[in-house]
A and B are shown apart, each in its own frame.
Chain A
Amino acid sequence: MDGTVVRIFNLRKSFGRVEALRGISFEVARGEIFGVVGPNGAGKTTLLRIVAGLMKPSSGEVEVLGHKVPSEVDRIRKYVSYLPEEANLYSKLSGIENLKLYAMAYVEREKIDEVVRVGISIAGLDLRDLERRVEAYSKGMSRRVAVAATLMVKPRLAILDEPTAGLDVVSARYVREVIRRFTREFGTTVILSSHNMFEVSRVCDRVALIHSGRVVAVDGVDRILSSVGAEDLEEAFVKIVGGRGG
């Protein structure tokens, strides 16, 4: 395997007559935080689900850590951690028990406590709160624990679908900081989807702008901005897709 963690070529996905992805191609390098940006319905979640091995492509190629997806997905599950959009925790379990569950799924018995400790530090919540059942948590608290459960196992690839969706400003800021800090610390490669252009500008090294199932631009944020003469990613997106149909 070279320095490429994710390689996607001409990926297509249809649901009946609806074509959600129309020939997506890009690569994500090791250690990169890669943003997938686009409006609602652009195909971001479908793309991430395919990379996570939860959906089958209609055609095209997807390789993660040098293995074909979905045919070899069982060989990479241990190294890939996925946070779906609006994923909830198990409400009858405490925050710590939720962390423990995902630690148990990924690591050997003797490493579980250590991984949970990492999860606790990522979540940044009071230990007493983490010992309470999740059903009493706010959305922000739940999201912190969910992000912690995704990153604590130090995956080689973390797939984060709209990790700050629906969060207040403080919680969203915390989650963004956590993603930047811990993925750098763990050497984790990240694919992060968002419709929040500001968030992507702040967090990602490179981004792919997706519109109606197609990649309309892939590059570093600054390079995209300068290429179209825009001040921010939102303006760049509008300029790029302005002349395109859906």
Chain B
Amino acid sequence: MGDLYTVLWKETKEMVRDRKTLLMVILTPIITLPFMGFAVVYLPAAQEVVVSVVDEDLSEAFIGNFAISSQSISSFLRDYLRYFGFAVSDRELEVAQVVLKIPAGFVSNLTSYEHQASVVVVRKLGSPRVDQAVNYVEMLLNHVSKKVSEAKVLALGEIAGVNLRTEAILNPIATKTVVLTPAGAPAEAEESLRLQLSRVLALSLVFVTTPAASYIADSLIGEKERRTLEKLLSTPISRSSFILGKSLVASFIGLVGGVSSVVGGALLFAMPTLLYSSDVIRYVSPEVLASLFFSSYISILTSLSISLPVVLRSPSIRAASISSASIIGVASVVYLASLFINLDELKMPLAMVLAVPYASLASAIIRVSLGESLRAAGYLLYSLAFSISLILISTKLLDPERMISSRP
């Protein structure tokens, strides 16, 4: 009977009956990806940060006909900070992580043509959410500052009897940024968002890479540990059928992992939709999900193809495990890097990183989101060819003596 069929028959039966491993492969992306979305989108907002906006001025003044009061400014700040999810107080509380004081004389200086008004923002070192609160405070104060400047310009114009346009004084250079896709088509803001989301999806490949490397290491080394390897290697089953059979079944794990990734990816973007009624999920196109599926599958194939020769030539079981962990580490670094940079736009010699299939796979997802499907297909095909070649080379590397003599 066909050698390959025999190995496939055995491996499939063992894999299907190893429910825990299968469940891990299926559930890991489905649980971790939405949790990642939850952690990134929801958790920071759920952390309570107290901001005190204290008005010590309590005064009002005019710029021309434009009335400005410290109460209206502090109310404006408090209302928006509450809107952004912070706990706001009008008193200086001990628990406050951010304290904004509007000092006495603030409005007087603000409405003056000779002095600059100032506020003091005191922040306690803490979490990124505290930094975020300070950023919002500065943004809101900039808004107030701009409105006051406009009022002053108009008032000065009136005094001088000159018809002024505030933008011409305050912002004499108007900048308009036109965003295009790499193909040159006008891009909407949603394209930019889609690109960001695709980077997160590329990072999610980390979660499907791990089970594959572990599975193939266990599939080969585990046979030795379970004392089944020696007898199987002594049968007429060829070495290549032995390796190919195991790889094919492990790649089935890849298919399952790929589907789970797609489901997990969809759930990841469903989180903001569910939590905030945001419509972010509509930016995840079927093409991006398809690229995620193929990238996941090939990422798993890549992991097992790189693991194979390492595991087969490892002097010991421990060395094989460490080598597999290193491969997972490399994959994680590459996928993390793709969150910040386009790996396929680096200059030589850094451009060599694209030879690592993980870099190509991450780039494929990003390219699809940019509408460059052909380029993405090239990356996918390269990674697939790399993996298959390495698996075929590995069939020649199996040395039974080394395998059965390796130390636990």
Contacts and interface: CB of A to CB of B under 8 A. Distances in A.
A106 interface: yes
Given A107-B1, A109-B1, A112-B1, A101 B9 contact: yes
A213 B171 CA distance: 93
Nearest to B9: A104
Interface stretch (A51-59, A195-203, A231-239): A51-59
Contacts of A91: 226
Contact of A88 (B5, B14, B226, B404): B226
A49 interface: yes
Interface in A68-91: 74, 77-78, 80-84, 86-91
A82 B17 contact: no
Interface string A109-141: 100100000000000000000000100000000
Given A52-B234, A54-B234, A108-B1, 5 more contacts: A53-B400, A87-B228, A102-B231, A133-B17, A146-B231
A165 interface: no
A167 interface: no
A54 B226 CA distance: 18
Interface string B33-66: 0000000000000000000000000000000000
B404 A93 contact: no
Given A90-B14, A92-B13, A83 B231 contact: yes
Interface hub of A101, A106, A133 (most chain B Cβ within 10 A)? A101
B233 interface: yes
B401 A56 contact: yes
Chain A interface category by residue count: 35 or more
A88 B228 contact: yes
A97 interface: yes
Contacts of A149: 231
Contacts of B9: 101, 104
Contacts of B17: 92-93, 133
B228 A92 contact: no
B282 interface: no
A127 to B, nearest CB: 19
Secondary structure at chain A's binding surface: helix, strand, loop or mixed? mixed
A105 interface: yes
Interface hub of A81, A92, A108, A109 (most chain B Cβ within 10 A)? A92
Interface in B69-93: none
21 contacts: A52-B234, A53-B234, A55-B404, A55-B405, A74-B238, A77-B234, A77-B235, A82-B230, A82-B231, A84-B234, A87-B230, A90-B14, A90-B226, A101-B6, A102-B235, A105-B1, A105-B232, A105-B235, A105-B236, A133-B17, A146-B231
B318 interface: no
A78 B227 contact: no
A72 to B, nearest CB: 14
B237 interface: yes
B10 interface: yes
Interface residues of B, number: 26
A56 B17 CA distance: 36
A54 B233 contact: yes
Contacts of B1: 104-105, 107-109, 112
B233 A90 contact: no
A106 B227 contact: no
A88 B236 contact: no
A90 B222 CA distance: 11
Interface in B1-25: 1, 3, 5-6, 9-10, 13-14, 17-18
Q: Which 9 A-B pairs have the closest CB atoms?
A: A82-B234, A105-B235, A84-B230, A77-B236, A88-B227, A92-B17, A104-B6, A104-B1, A55-B401
Contact of A54 (B10, B227, B236, B401): B401
Contact of A97 (B13, B233, B237): B13
A149 B10 CA distance: 15
Contact of B400 (A54, A90, A107): A54
A193 to B, nearest CB: 14
Contacts of A78: 236
Contacts of A52: 234
Contacts of A84: 227, 230-231, 234
A80 B10 contact: no
Contacts of B227: 84, 86-88
Given A54-B401, A87-B227, A105 B233 contact: no
A105 B237 contact: yes
A199 to B, nearest CB: 21
A80 B234 contact: yes
Interface string B204-229: 00000000000000000000001110
